[in-house]
Amino acid sequence: WPPELFEEHGRELLAVLRAHFESIREVPVTVPRGTGELSASLRQDLPEHGVEFERVLDDTRELVLPYLVHWNHPSFHGYFSNSASFPGILAETMTAALNVNAMLWKSAPAASALERVVLGWVAEMVGYPAEADAVLVNGASLATLYALATARDAALGPSVRVEGLAGRDLPVLRLYTSDQAHSSVDKAAITLGFGQVNLVKVPSDERYRMRPEALEAAILDDLAAGYKPVAVVATVGTTSVGAADPLQEIADVCERNGVWLHVDAAFGGFWRLAPSLAGQVEDLTRADSLVVNPHKCLYIPMEATVLHCRHEGALADTFRLVAEYLTSAQDEHTVDYMNLTPQLGRSFRALKLWWVIRTFGRTGLAERLEHSVELAVGLREAVTAEPLWRCPVDSIYPLVCLRYEPSQDREVCDRLNAEIVEELNASGEAFVSHTVIDDGYVIRVSIGNIHTTRADVERLWRALREIAARRFPLARA
Ligand code: PLP
């Protein structure tokens, strides 16, 4: 394509996207389609010859778009409701156009300098020391993996890089997290060779928060048995119900016992910006390492995660390895981001953070986050006021867990709530997910999309009640 055709197609694409967003409330969040049918509709032989862009775009609109789940829809409330904001979407386009590889300062000078700037801004927003080492990665799961590798190496010392772990007279290495932690902690324990058996799941309390006294007891037992406690992973904003572990007490336990504290604030990290939550969100400053997810809450398109580590040089001690062809001149300003994780080729992720944070400003971001919190408070109040519905667990974050209980029979209610989720999602009107807690199966409504309005949440609540009433008329109660 000559550049003028690129622009022409770009305009066509933008027109499609504009129409998509202008009519988003008429677009189903998803259109259910059988897996075999969907696969067959897309199956094609490897194209021998190129086709017109219009055809590719038309096929995308017809064959792909309806059968996605539109995470960027104002009625998407599943998992963690996120948003690609318009400046973020445009920044992604520019990033692709420039195709910079931000592995070294030398290979991407302004991208590296910008990465440092946005990492400092993120640290300031979440309340972590701005001078800590930090790096942009593609997800919280990998950030936790990298943090735990770093914690392990810090515990064992530099010999582990050379000699590895196998065949050495090392103590059993132990990790600790709560029974509510994200499965990425298990995956990291498996990947790093701790083994799941050495990931101790500390029980949580009735509000799903890790019990610090149980954590300390587990660490002390392990020390008495000759094991080596390496790291504790605490969560701020648990996946299931949006609980936050008591970080200060956990940090005290870690400090007393010389154990690394990694905090997974993938979901919870940014909510302190919302004025009504400012004093309620756990203080993250004592974390040895910290992960927060701008692609969850900061209106940044996927993928964008920040890994922070307060121990200068610790990430590089684990991951720095410079092949000859990657050597370059260094001075006090240079940061080669390839040294802070195992990833070499890296996209220019900093640009989308720079554009979004500059476009909205801290205040604009705070107002949008506060809006989500208000919508969640409103939904919780509506649920609580409705007979037969309740919120069995509370969260300060805009994550509302609710359950319809028209019967005393727990299993009946479990089944009914699962059916409600299934019917709502199949309708395309909205999309929610679920979790199972002590009370049973609950419907999980995550609120955080930048386009979601009060009317959208009210429509969701109406749809849930209508489905529930139809599935379980009160006469059957
Ligand atoms: N940590 C928590 C608390 C999460 O809720 C999630 C995902 O939802 C993750 C980690 C994993 O995040 P990612 O999808 O960025 O790897």
Report which ligand 1 atom has the smallest distance to the Cα of 181. Answer: 3
For domain 1-30+68-83+361-477, give its CATH number from 1.10.287.70, 3.90.1150.170, 3.30.70.2860, 3.40.50.720. Answer: 3.90.1150.170
Nearest CA to ligand 1 atom 9: 140
The mean per-residue pLDDT over the stretch 246-261 comes to 98
Position 438 pLDDT exceeds 70: yes
**Helix (H), strand (E), coil (C) string for 102-129:** CCCCCCCHHHHHHHHHHHHHHHHHHCCC
Question: What residues have CB less than 8 Å from 358, skipping those under 6 apart?
Answer: none
334: which 2 tokens? 């240079």
Q: Does the pLDDT at position 86 exceed 80?
A: yes
Q: Ligand 1 centre and the CA of 460: distance in Å?
A: 25
Nearest-Å Rg of the Cα atoms of the chain is 24
- Using an 8 Å Cβ cutoff, are 94 and 56 in contact? no
| 200-241 pLDDT tens trace | 999 999 999 999 999 999 999 999 999 999 999 999 999 999
User: Per the structure block, which two tokens stand in for 434?
Assistant: 């679920």
pLDDT higher than 70, residue 66: yes
**Which tens digits make up the pLDDT trace of 418-435?**
999 999 999 999 999 999
- Residue pair 173/200 in contact (Cβ under 8 Å)? The answer is no
Would the CATH topology of 1-30+68-83+361-477 be identical to that of 101-347?
A: no
Q: How far, in Å, CA of 342 to CA of 322, rounded?
A: 11
Measure 240 CA to ligand 1 centroid, in angstroms: 11
- Token pair in block for residue 414: 């479990």
**Class of the 101-347 domain?**
alpha beta
Instruction: Tell whether the torsion through CA atoms of 165, 166, 168 and 171 is positive or negative.
Output: positive
Q: Which amino acid is at 251?
A: A
pLDDT of residue 473: 78
Place of tokens 């066509």: 12
Q: What are the boundaries of each domain within the chain? A: 1-30+68-83+361-477, 101-347
When pLDDT is cut at 50, 70 and 90, the band that residue 161 belongs to is confident
Q: What is the pTM of this model?
A: 0.96
Nearest atom, ligand 1, residue 237 CA: 3
Amino acid identity of residue 238, one-letter, is T
Count the neighbouring beta carbons within 10 Å of the beta carbon of residue 202. Answer: 25
Partners of residue 261 on adjacent β-strands: 232
Q: Which of 396, 381, 398, 365 is nearest to 458 (CA)?
A: 381
